[in-house]
Amino acid sequence: MSRRSSIRGLPCTGGRTTPGNRPGLRAEDGPVAPPRRRNAGGFSLLEIIAVLALMGLIAALLIGGSSTMLKTVSTDDVGNTALSAIAGARHSAVLTGRTLELTYDDQARVLNWGEGSAALTGEGKVRLLPVARLGAILVGGQLVETPLTRVRFYADGTCDPFRLEVTRDTAAQVLAIDPWTCTPLAPENTPGGH
């Protein structure tokens, strides 16, 4: 016998549930399992395994790529410093509203633009070259170009057209610098030096 509970109109049996007093169940059905409870919080084992697998994949990608990145940073130190100096000279010219000159002191290995300077610390050499090979001569079977003494950066964010040559070991990489944005264009690889 069941009576109506005062809470939400649910039937109240007043004791343990048996197959006989639950609607739709017969005594012949056997023992009845308690009703399932839904977990209010937590993660399933499948969710935990999926997250751990994703974390492992990301860690493997980062660890594998970091060694290549470190090699690139160490070998491109001179080139990166020179490109940073070019960006710094352009930025200073725009901020101050006047024309600045970028010069390179080969003895001290310093790029100077009046408002700042950048010292080259890695292996290799840097030269500021004219856009076309105007001052090039053939010396001992190699083409030798006369470097520029200075490059001007203007207050409107432009600069004189020039090329940047970065030499490491025996290979030289020549970057044409866009005079409108002062950023490098496609590189030209020159094996065997100058």
* pLDDT of the residue at 22: 55
- Model confidence, pTM: 0.55
Q: Is 154 helix (H, G, I), strand (E, B) or coil?
A: coil
* pLDDT of the residue at 73: 47
CATH for 74-190 is: 3.55.40.10
Find all residues with CB under 8 Å of 144, minimum gap 6, and list them. 136, 137, 138, 194
114: nearest Cα among 102, 96, 131: 102
Domain boundaries, the chain: 74-190
Could you tell me if 184 and 83 are in contact, meaning their C-beta atoms sit under 8 angstroms apart? yes
Could you tell me if 144 and 137 are in contact, meaning their C-beta atoms sit under 8 angstroms apart? yes
Q: Is the dihedral of CA 189, 178, 182, 86 positive or negative?
A: positive
Question: pLDDT by residue for the chain (194 residues), tens digit each?
Answer: 555 555 555 555 555 555 555 555 565 666 666 666 665 678 899 999 999 999 988 888 777 666 555 554 444 478 888 888 999 999 999 999 999 999 998 888 899 998 888 888 878 889 898 887 655 555 566 666 788 889 999 999 999 999 998 888 778 888 899 999 998 986 655 444 44
CA distance 63 to 100: 42
Q: Is 91 helix (H, G, I), strand (E, B) or coil?
A: helix
Find all residues with CB under 8 Å of 193, minimum gap 6, and list them. 142, 167, 170, 171, 172
Q: Is the dihedral of CA 35, 40, 45, 50 positive or negative?
A: positive
CA distance 50 to 58: 12
Instruction: Report which DSSP code applies to 28.
Output: G
